[in-house]
Amino acid sequence: MSNFVSVIFCLNCGSRYVEIKGPTADNRMIAYCRTCHSEAEIGRFTLGRCCVSNTELQKARDARGLKNKPER
Ligand SMILES: [Zn+2]
């Protein structure tokens, strides 16, 4: 059985090493890229972790939203 999940990638460098920092003083979370150190506030969302195969991870990468082409 397989389950659908969403994977978060860094839009700046494409890294999958995205962490959540926070909450901030006003209870917002910060997405932080461990690879290029980009960060951005993402209120109302957080992350969970699990292991996926490289094949599945590549599928997520291929389906990821980019500028002018958001993933739905
Ligand atoms: Zn990055």
CA 55 – ligand 1 centroid, Å: 21
**Does the residue 47 lie in any domain?**
yes
Write out the two tokens for 11.
């839009």
Ligand 1 centroid, distance to 48 Cα (angstroms):
18
Q: Is residue 72 part of a domain?
A: no
Residue 29: inside a domain, yes or no? Answer: yes
Helix, strand or coil, per DSSP, at residue 44: coil
Residue at 71 is within a domain: no
Looking at the predicted structure, is the pLDDT value of residue 72 above 70? no
**Element (H or E) spanning 30, and its range?**
strand 30-33
Q: How far is the CA of 1 from the centre of ligand 1 (A)?
A: 32
Q: Which residues contact 71 (CB under 8 A, 6 or more apart)?
A: 63, 64, 65
Range of the domain at 52: 1-66
In the structure, ligand 1 is a single-atom ion and the residues with CB under 5 Å from it are 10, 12-13, 15, 33, 35-36, 38
Dump pLDDT digits (tens) for 8-57: 999 999 999 999 998 888 888 899 999 999 999 988 888 888 999 999 99
Count up the domains in the chain and report the number: 1
Residue 6 amino acid letter: S
Residue 65: pLDDT band (50, 70, 90) is confident
Determine if the pTM surpasses 0.85: no
Residue 67 has pLDDT above 80, yes or no: no
Residue 39 lies in a domain: yes
Is 18 part of any domain? Answer: yes
